[in-house]
Every structure is written in structure tokens, then in C-alpha cells.
A and B are shown apart, each in its own frame.
Chain A
Amino acid sequence: MLETLANKRAVWSLGSLIVLLIFWHVAAELLQHRHLPTPVAVFETFLREVRSGDLIYHVWVTLIRVVISFIVAMLIGSAIGLVMGRMETVNRFFDSWLIFFLNLPALVIIVLCYVWFGLNDMAAIIAVAINKIPNVAVTVREGARALSRDLTEMAEIYSFGRTKTLRHVILPQMAPFFAAAARTGLSLIWKIVLVVELFGLSAGVGVRINEAYHLFDVPMILAYAIAFIVVVQLIEMFVLQPIEARVNRWRR
């Protein structure tokens, strides 16, 4: 039953993607403009880049940055969100800080990090993490506020202690909020990583797209963009979704 449902969904997404490709192809053929390549041209560029090894190298470099910033942002953002959700005084004090960082433009954070820490990976990762941490904190704070008092009392009566309460009572209630933060986190982070790369680093998808931009090489830009979309989709399918299915297995 579940499997057929999953299959059905796969068929739908595949079908709609094919329709999108057809539209693109028809539009490109009709316009015949050198800045709108056909999907075939993009695919050829993609293959060429794969064969030369460039694409795999740059995607890999970017991916490592995405993963590290993602982990850093999730850990720090979750900790901040948990504390703010549980402690009213802390929340009242830091709420305005959170709003400040939420509204600080990504570009400003990136430029400042490069100015302060130099044009290196460390600065890049800090910049990306600072961009994402407030979002994670806000989502996780909502979860921490909604914790069940009934279960907390139960854990108190049955002397669970701090570790057991965190692991068996609090974190499972937070799981949907972590999942939501992770979902939006991954897509936001990889977009910011590209900007960070474009600004001050010497390798990565962002750098490659910048080079292509100077040459007006649209097939190259699209080939790299699509390569990375595919990678993020694979992470979603083979990492995030299985984790989510596991933590939700108790639901009716």
C-alpha cells in the first residue's frame, strides 16, 4: 500500500519534470537565442564537465562546505532554540537579538566575515552558519515551547533524571521541529554557500558559476545548478527522509 503510494508519487514527479523539460526545449528551439540553450546543450556541457573531472571536484568542495555549515548551524541553532523555549527570562532578553540576526542581510554577514576573518573556508562556514542559526533557533524554540507538561510531570514522578528526560521525553517531541529546520536549512544553506564562494574563495560551484558568468556561458551555469539540485535531492531522499521515517515510526 505504502509502496504503491511512493511509486505513484515518483511517477508524478518524474512526469512533471519531463513536461518541464519539454517546455524548456520548445521555448529554446523557438527563441533560438544563444543565452537560452536547449536541455540537450546543457546536458552535453554537463557530460563534458563530468569527464574532465571539474564538475565532481567543485561539487564535492561545495558539498563539504554545505555539510559542515549545516551541522554547525543545526547544533548551535537547536541549543539556542531549546534554551530560549524553556527559559522565559533568557527568551525575553535574547528575542531582540534573534530578530536582529534574522533580518541582517546574508550579504552583510558574508562581507563582514571576510573582512574580519580573511578570505578562507573558516570565514565562509561562519558566515553561512550565522545566516542559518536564527532560523533554526526560531523553529526549535516553537517546539520547546509546545512540550507536553503531562509528560514532563510523569518523568519527574518516575525520577527519570536529566539525561533520560532529554533523550526519551524532550528530544522525541522536538523531532518534527528539527526535521522542519533541517528541511528548510539544507536548501537555504547551499544557496548561501554559492554566494560565499563567489565572493571570496577559489574553488566550488559558486566559483565555477562566477567564471561562466564572465564568459556568458549559460549552459555551464545551468549544468552546475542542476548538478547541485540533484545532489541536494539525493541527500533529501537517502538521508533526511529515512531519518524522518524512523523517528515517526510510532505514529498511527
Chain B
Amino acid sequence: MAQVSTALEVEVLSKTFPAVAKRSANRVLENIKLAIEPESFVVLTGPSGCGKSTLLNIIAGLDDDFDGEVRFQSLDARRAYIFQSPRLLPWRTIEENILLPLKDDDPRRAKVPAMLERVGLAEAADAYPERVSLGMQRRASLARGFILEPDILLMDEPFVSLDDPTAQDLRKLLIDLYKRRPTTILFVTHDRSEAVMLGTRILRLDGGSATIVQDEVVQLRSQDRSDPGKVRAERARIFADV
């Protein structure tokens, strides 16, 4: 990792999953070059299984078996990852789950009650994750990511398998958290409306060995993002699909 002036620079010349059992080696990503501005909300989209999550795992540092490089603005850039499943510890309460990434003497610990309040979990602070709804678990997962005040926030389809109104509430919550404390977000989704509604920039991945096939700035003012008509029009402009 070297220092760069953008928030993040990613270069993945190739990423190949080795052959296992009867499946031959599979090159999933190829020739991806990407520079991300600080505090931008970048959405990575593309068909299921095209390698979006793999790219996110590479950026997160969970996967270092690839040919290329990931550079952050500062060497100690704080990263948080909001996963597709909430990945809370079921044997710790919601509040404990949010506190756990913070060290014992971390001043941010004092902010946890306010954060719980903001994400609507003040009442559920002492509940165990499996005893609350998936929507609430996802809120806790958002809170755990944001309490760290990360420099880079990676999100992997954090709102799938929720009913529409719940997903919409969580999107609004995410926008609210992002506005209060802007950070660089890399958000993976295959939901194109969600991409347009949330992102300031959309990257579309596609191909057998996926690469970036489209890089688009979303031309919506923030007040237009809650207008379904305007979101639909912008989606049509970018993806030419509705």
C-alpha cells in the first residue's frame, strides 16, 4: 500500500480462483483500474456472480491472492465492512456487538448510545441479535460500521432479502448517517434503482472475466433521490433498461 491523493486506488490486473475438485480455474476479474475520490458514494453493480463481492473483499484486505495493488490515501485508513448478512455475534447483545470493534479506552464508546438512538435500536440495545428482526440486525450492522467513523466503508448488498418498505427505511437511514459523517463508500448491489438512488457514481462490472464496462456520474440532486419518477428517469438514462 502506498499513499495517494485520492481516497483509494484499486488496480486488479487479474484475480483467479484456483481449480477445485472438478471445476477448472476461474479468472473472475481482469484489468480493473479505479480511482475513488474522498467522500464519494460509489456503487458497484453488475449481474450476480460477476465478481463484485470478490472485488470488495480484495479492497477490504480479506483476499490478498490477486495480481495488482490497492492503495489508500493514508496508510492507516480505517476500513469498515457492512456485509450482506449482518454477521453480528449472536451471543452478544446488540449494544455489545457495536461496542466490540472499539478498544476499551476508545472515546467513541461514549457515542454508542446516541448511535443506537439514531438507528432506532435504543430499545433493543440489550436484546440478542437472533431475537430481533432481520431489519433490526441490519440496523445494528450499519451502526457497527459507522461508529468506527471509517475512512472507507465497504458495503456488500446490505439491504437484500428485506421487504420493500424496510429496505427503503434502511436506505434513508444510510443517507442520513452518510450526511452526518461523510465518508468514502463503496456499495455493491445488483438493484439498479437502489444504485441510482444512493450513488454519486456508478460502476458497472460485466463479462466472463469481469471488468468495468461503464463508469457514470449520477446526475441527481439529493432532494431528487426520494422522488421515484426522477430515480426511474435517471436509471433509464444510465442503464437504458426501463
Contact assessment for B91 and A160 in the assembled complex, using a CB-CB cutoff below 8 Å: no
Complex Cα gap A195–B33 (Å): 71
Q: Is A159 an interface residue (CB 8 A)?
A: yes
Contact B87 A150 (CB under 8 A): yes
Determine if A168 and B89 form an interchain contact, defined as CB atoms under 8 angstroms apart. Answer: yes
Is the C-beta of A169 less than 8 angstroms from some C-beta in chain B? Answer: yes
Q: In the bound complex, what is the Cα–Cα distance between A169 and B88 (angstroms)? A: 10
- Candidates B128, B130, B144; contact of A158 at CB < 8 Å: B144
- The answer to whether A250 touches B148, judged by C-beta atoms less than 8 angstroms apart, is no
A164 to B92, alpha carbons, bound, how many Å?
Answer: 13
Indicate if the CB atoms of A164 and B100 lie closer than 8 Å. yes
Asked whether A172 is an interface residue with its Cβ less than 8 Å from the other chain, the reply is yes
In the complex, per-residue mask of A8-51: 1 if CB is within 8 Å of any chain B CB, else 0? 00000000000000000000000000000000000000000000
Give the 10 A-B residue pairs with the shortest CB-CB distance, closest first: A158-B101, A250-B128, A172-B91, A154-B87, A157-B81, A250-B91, A252-B130, A150-B87, A153-B62, A250-B90
A168 and B85 contact, CB distance less than 8 A:
no
B79 beta carbon closer than 8 Å to chain A: yes
Known: A157-B61, A157-B80; 11 extra A-B contacts, CB below 8 A, are: A150-B85, A160-B101, A168-B92, A168-B100, A169-B89, A172-B89, A175-B91, A250-B92, A250-B128, A250-B129, A250-B130
Any B CB within 8 A of the CB of A156 = yes
| CB-CB under 8 A for A154 and B83, given A172-B89, A172-B91 | yes
* Chain B 107-135 near chain A by CB (<8 Å), digits 1 or 0: 00000000000000000000011110000
A168 to B91, CA, bound (A): 8
CA distance A158 to B144 in the complex (A): 9
* Closest Cβ–Cβ distance, residue B158 to chain A (whole Å): 13
Are B131 and A252 in contact (CB-based, < 8 A)? yes
In the complex with contacts A150-B85, A252-B130, A158-B90 CB distance below 8 A: no
Interface membership of A214, Cβ < 8 A: no
**Count of interface residues, chain A, beta-carbon cutoff 8 Å:** 19
In the complex the two chains form, what is the Cα distance from A90 to B74 in whole Å?
39
Question: Counting CB contacts under 8 A, is B70 at the interface?
Answer: no
**Contact of B212 with A by CB under 8 A:** no
What residue of chain B has the Cβ atom nearest to residue A158's Cβ? B101
- At the interface, yes or no: B60 with Cβ under 8 Å from chain A? yes
Known contacts A252-B130, A252-B131; is-contact A158 B89 (Cβ 8 Å): no
- 17 A-B Cβ contacts within 8 A? A153-B62, A154-B81, A154-B83, A156-B62, A157-B60, A157-B62, A158-B144, A158-B148, A159-B101, A168-B92, A172-B91, A175-B91, A247-B91, A250-B92, A250-B129, A250-B131, A251-B130
Closest to B63 in A: A153
A252: which B residues are within 8 A, CB to CB? Answer: 130-131
Q: Classify the interface of chain A: helix, strand, loop or mixed.
A: helix
Query: Residues on A close to B: CB < 8 A?
Result: 150-151, 153-154, 156-160, 164, 168-169, 172, 175, 247, 249-252
Give the docked Cα–Cα distance between A159 and B91 (Å): 19
Instruction: List B residues 45-76 near A (Cβ within 8 Å).
Output: 60-62
B130 CB contacts on chain A under 8 angstroms = 250-252
Contacting residue for B80 out of A151, A158, A172, A247, CB 8 A: A158
- How many Å from the CB of A118 to the closest CB on chain B? 45
Residues of chain B with a CB closer than 8 A to A151's CB = 87, 89
CA distance A252 to B132 in the complex (A): 10
Tell me the minimal C-beta distance from B154 to chain A in angstroms.
Answer: 8
- In angstroms, how far is the closest chain A Cβ from the Cβ of B151? 13
The closest CB in chain B to the CB of A161 belongs to B103
Q: Which residues of A contact B79 (CB under 8 A)?
A: 157
List the A side residues contacting B92 at CB < 8 Å.
Answer: 168, 250
Looking at the assembled complex, report how far the CB atom of B144 sits from the nearest CB atom of chain A, in whole angstroms.
Answer: 7
Closest CB-CB distance, A42 to chain B, in whole Å?
45
Q: How far is the CA of A29 from the CA of B62 in the complex (A)?
A: 73
Chain A hits for B83, CB < 8 A: 150, 154
